[in-house]
Amino acid sequence: MGADAKYADAYSSRGAALLSKGYNDGAITDFNQAIRIDPKQIDAYVNRGLARVHKSDFDQALVDYDKAISLDPKHAGAHNGRGLVWFSKGETERAIAEYDKAIDLDPKQADAYSNRGLAWRRMGHVDRAMADFDQAISIDSKNAHAHYNRGMAVRQGRRRSRHDRLQPGDQSRSQKHRCVQESRTDLGCQG
């Protein structure tokens, strides 16, 4: 590895550290430097894409993920990132296709399972969402996003189940009571 490659790795590593702290602009600057020094720095493209997703710059994030995939079509993180872009743009089915690719390439990609679970949940497929959140948690038991999103899916499933049990005339009578009860539960009230 030449001196330039070491500098590219250093910029990419510092960018990743900044990204993990939420300093997206500084991270992007470092990823730009890493890519300028070494245009084949795949992780710099992937991480710059994530920083751009955090900034809601989805079109440029997609450019980064596409470039990473052109350099390494089997990079699971790049496919997961591209899924994030499609999900953020409201193209849920395209997002699921990317998460599927990420999982096929790396079955231990907990974030891809968690992200796909969110997509399934958005589409109303609570059982599929739960299965993906469970898989993410089995891979990484400390994945806070998977735990949180699993809890939200459980709640969504309960609401749907209650709604399905209501008769048409029951809905208007019980709606006020249900809203009050759910609000009390959300606030931690009992009884």
**What type of residue is 75?**
H
Region 45-71 average pLDDT: 98
Is residue 5 domain-shared with residue 61, that is, in the same domain? yes
Model confidence at 6, pLDDT cuts 50, 70, 90, reads confident
Degrees to nearest 5, angle at CA 133 with 89 and 101 = 55
Residue 62 and residue 57: Cα distance in Å, rounded? 9
Q: Give pLDDT tens digits for 107-145.
A: 999 999 999 999 999 999 999 999 999 999 999 999 999
**How many domains is the chain built from?**
2
Q: 156: pLDDT confidence band, cut at 50, 70 and 90?
A: confident
Contact 96/120 with Cβ under 8 angstroms? yes
Residue 52 lies in a domain: yes
Looking at residue 158, what is its pLDDT?
78
Contact between 82 and 98 under an 8 Å Cβ cutoff? The reply is: yes
* Domain coverage including residue 111: 97-165
pTM of the model: 0.80
Pair (69, 114) in one structural domain? no
Shared-domain flag, residues 104 and 139? yes
Please state, in angstroms and as integers, the Cα–Cα distance from residue 180 to each residue in 70, 163, 177, 186, following that order: 53, 15, 5, 10
Q: Tell whether 181 is covered by a domain.
A: no
Kindly report the CATH number assigned to the domain that includes residue 109. 1.25.40.10
pLDDT in tens, 16-51: 999 999 999 999 999 999 999 999 999 999 999 999
* The predicted structure's pLDDT at residue 28: 98
Residues 104 and 65 in one domain: no
Same domain, 111 and 50: no
How far CA 46 is from CA of 16, 79, 93, 181, in Å, comes to 10, 9, 21, 44
